[in-house]
Amino acid sequence: MSSSSAPSSGRWSLPVEDDWSTPFAEVLLAQLDLRPGLTILDIACGHGIPAFYLAEQVGPTGSVTGIDASRGQIASARTIQRGDLPWLRFECLDMRALPASFPTFQRITGNLSVMFLRPYRFEAMRGLIEHLEPGGQVVLTFPSLGTFDSMWQRIDQEMSRHGLTIERERLAAHVAERPSAAEARGWLERLNMERIAVVERPLEVASGSGQRFLQHPLLRGGFLDDAYECFEDAGLADEVMTRVSMDLESMTPLLAQRCALSGWKPVKE
């Protein structure tokens, strides 16, 4: 988010120029019970999508704490904040290992957050829920299993054409490691959460072919990088991926699955 995303009225709307975080945040907000006065923990907050929006909505009678393991992201968020929304604060913390002294919140949100809970996602989720007040809601979004399936299939096809058995196995492991909507629901069921809801919404990503595909800022980070990591031979990786990049038509549309996971913590008797 940039300071220019806030209209002159002072409202911290979601930035329209962000074609990845904002569409996921919109799905998050559609599931979130949001109102003034709430206390919210926003995990994997990055540089503030949607933490700034959340803070504006809860107002000065509420509070929002954004945490991220990246010091750079936290520094960026604080720079954007520039003293505005004083009930919003950003801290550099690992959401997988919150201290026992860390407070509880009425809502826990996390946009594009679930991938950062690994390697032990369920245990990390259980730790988060310990910091959710009884009667509180958690809403997390993530690109679920099925995201960019056409791209993975085309890469696998090219690997197969080269007879790359080990690389194909590594690619399959990367793809399978992404959580499915059903798996995410299972975490909340095991934690005895109530009113569990899991929704998926497709998001089409546009790209040109060739280097525009290979260097696409969204596709490269966290997706194409996984494919490159399957190779021991960098030259072979470039050859395979270049051929894939020139066959954009077979991969279109490039669809991500925006998954939103929501649940409520039971009220203690």
Partner residues linked to 197 by β-bridges: 262
Q: Which amino acid is at 78?
A: R
Partner residues linked to 140 by β-bridges: 110, 261
**Residue that the structure tokens 């907050």 belong to:** 45
Q: What is the pLDDT of residue 118?
A: 84
Q: What is the pLDDT of residue 48?
A: 94
The residue among 40, 90, 98 whose CA lies nearest residue 70 is 90
Partner residues linked to 92 by β-bridges: 68
pTM of the predicted model as reported, rounded to 2 decimal places? 0.91
∠ CA 116-119-120, rounded to 5° = 100
How far apart (Å, rounded) are the C-alpha atoms in residues 72 and 211? 28
How far apart (Å, rounded) are the C-alpha atoms in residues 62 and 135? 17
DSSP 263: E
DSSP percent split of the chain into helix, strand, coil, nearest 5: 40, 20, 35
Domains of the chain: 3-143 (3.40.50.150), 149-174+206-251 (no CATH)
DSSP 58: H
171 is written with which tokens? 């690619």
Q: What is the pLDDT of residue 222?
A: 77
The residue among 110, 58, 48, 111 whose CA lies nearest residue 80 is 48
How far apart (Å, rounded) are the C-alpha atoms in residues 234 and 167? 12
Please name the helix (run of DSSP H) or strand (run of DSSP E) that holds residue 248, with its range, or none: helix 248-251
Beta-strand pair 254-264/194-205: antiparallel
For 224, the 3-state DSSP assignment is helix
The residue among 251, 239, 238 whose CA lies nearest residue 208 is 251
Q: pLDDT digit of tens for each residue in the chain (269 aa)?
A: 433 333 334 478 999 889 999 999 999 999 999 999 999 999 999 999 999 999 999 999 999 999 999 999 999 999 999 989 999 999 999 999 999 899 999 999 999 999 888 888 999 999 999 999 999 999 999 999 999 999 999 999 999 999 999 999 999 999 998 899 999 999 999 999 999 999 999 999 999 999 999 999 999 877 999 999 999 999 999 999 999 999 999 999 999 999 999 999 999 75
